[in-house]
Chains A and B, each alone.
Chain A
Amino acid sequence: MSKRVHISPLANEGMYILDTASWRTERPVMNKEKCIECGLCLTYCPVNAIIFDENKYKITYNYCKGCGICAVECPKKAIDMVPEGGGK
């Protein structure tokens, strides 16, 4: 990315990022004993907080907003929504 002369409104000096993780009141926790690695949760997560890493679906918590869609859509009910702050 090149530095620009800002003579009109434009943005290229890095990414504008919000701390959406701080919104969570509940966090999704995946139960790998129930999970069949189907990937549906990944396709429905609006935030892209679910990743596929080392052949496994995993939830990341840097931006997860705690909406609970993944928990509802998991065909195996392998994701639980757990209150934030009250343990992991």
Chain B
Amino acid sequence: MNYIEKLRTSEDMVTPGMSACQGCCGELVLRRILQISGKNTIVCVPPGCMSGAGVVGWDYQTGMKIPVHIPLLTNTASFLSGVSQMYQRKGRGDVNMIAVAGDGATADGGFQSLSGAAERNEKMLYVCYDNEGYMNTGFQRSSTTTKGSRTSTTPIGEAINGKQQPSKYVALIMSMHALQYCATASPSHMQDMVAKVERGLAESKKGFAFIHVIAPCPTGWSFEPDMSIQIAKKAVASNMFPLWEKYNGNYYITVENKKPIPVKEFLQSMGKYKSLTDDDIAQIQKEADTKYETLKKLASE
């Protein structure tokens, strides 16, 4: 079955009406992951846009067809470790253990818990949808926010212009744990993403699987909702968000980028980078190039 057949025949596990914005890639990613994992799944969605959009539920009504829990911003991987360990103990290791967490819950407040669970190689699939900020609380900066971005805690000002620090590359940091599987994915490259979620799920039965997914956010990043996939495409094409995976100790670039587009094309397609100077753009270009070079070296080992 090809990925399109899979997606058109698999059941949606999430409430049909959730309050994520028009064109939200977080919603897209969440639905796709759970379509692939199916009913035999337990999912944790920490505080953030996805849980806030109603997928955990309201009062006595649930937002999913599968068991779901909203853990803390700071403990998703630990909480799921406990659930997973009990399921192994009960001889029900077949149940998919999935976290769908934002970049804040992953790279900031929840990072210690995540790193601990990865180091213990706990059996779960942890997916980070990265919209480069704390969207649910009003688009404040996070550690994955790209340098120069306008966020509500790094506004454009006379004295200080946007975020001053480059982003933390959480996927590569995670890959340095002795984990089972690590990958990056983009909803624009749906076939690649579906394959990685499938592999991640399979590997999660043996240990810790981590997937870092870019999730363009029209509301926070300032672009028209219909451009979400185009923007994700440009992020990949410009090497702002290269697609790779690591398993059995080896790195593989899954979508080769022979002729990258300038990062400028990506940066200029949305409002949050509006006030970047040429110097800023040059620096971001350099970071993207270095990132890709590093990955190429890792992949050629």
Is there a chain B Cβ closer than 8 Å to A12's Cβ?
yes
In residues 16-38 of chain B, which contact A (Cβ within 8 Å)?
16-20, 22-25, 27-28, 31
B8 contact from A12, A18, A51, Cβ within 8 A: A51
Interface of A is mostly: loop
Is there a chain A Cβ closer than 8 Å to B130's Cβ?
no
| Distance in angstroms between the alpha carbons of A17 and B224 in the assembled complex | 25
* Chain A residue nearest to B11 in the complex (CB): A48
Q: How far is the CB of A73 from chain B (nearest CB, A)?
A: 5
Docked-complex contact A18 and B28, CB < 8 angstroms:
no
A-B pairs with CB below 8 Å: how many? Answer: 106
Query: Which residue among B23, B31, B63, B226 has the maximum number of chain A CB atoms within 10 Å of its CB?
Result: B226
Interface of B is mostly: mixed
Docked-complex contact A72 and B54, CB < 8 angstroms:
no
| Distance in angstroms between the alpha carbons of A41 and B196 in the assembled complex | 20
| Distance in angstroms between the alpha carbons of A69 and B27 in the assembled complex | 13
Docked-complex contact B8 and A16, CB < 8 angstroms:
no
Docked-complex contact A69 and B228, CB < 8 angstroms:
yes
Is there a chain A Cβ closer than 8 Å to B57's Cβ?
yes
* Chain B residue nearest to A65 in the complex (CB): B22
Contacting residues, chain A, for B19 (C-beta < 8 A):
18, 20
Contacting residues, chain B, for A42 (C-beta < 8 A):
4, 7-8
Docked-complex contact B190 and A17, CB < 8 angstroms:
no
Q: How far is the CB of B214 from chain A (nearest CB, A)?
A: 14
Docked-complex contact B61 and A39, CB < 8 angstroms:
no
A46 contact from B4, B23, B60, Cβ within 8 A: B23
| Distance in angstroms between the alpha carbons of A51 and B187 in the assembled complex | 18
| Distance in angstroms between the alpha carbons of A71 and B8 in the assembled complex | 18
Is there a chain A Cβ closer than 8 Å to B12's Cβ?
yes
Is there a chain A Cβ closer than 8 Å to B294's Cβ?
no
Docked-complex contact B57 and A16, CB < 8 angstroms:
yes
Is there a chain A Cβ closer than 8 Å to B277's Cβ?
no
Contacting residues, chain B, for A48 (C-beta < 8 A):
12, 16, 31
Docked-complex contact B59 and A46, CB < 8 angstroms:
no
Is there a chain B Cβ closer than 8 Å to A87's Cβ?
no
Docked-complex contact B7 and A43, CB < 8 angstroms:
yes
Given contacts A15-B62, A18-B18, contact A67 B190 (CB under 8 A): no
Q: How far is the CB of A36 from chain B (nearest CB, A)?
A: 13
New contact pairs (6) apart from A11-B61, A67-B22, A67-B226, CB-CB < 8 Å: A6-B60, A12-B62, A18-B19, A44-B190, A46-B31, A52-B9
Can you list 14 pairs linking A and B with CB atoms under 8 Å apart? A11-B58, A13-B60, A13-B61, A14-B62, A18-B15, A20-B16, A40-B4, A44-B187, A46-B23, A47-B31, A48-B16, A51-B8, A65-B225, A72-B230
A-B interface, 3 closest residue pairs, ranked by CB to CB distance from nearest:
A68-B226, A18-B17, A67-B23
A residues near B (Cβ < 8 Å) are 6, 10-20, 23, 38-40, 42-48, 51-52, 62-63, 65-69, 71-73, 81
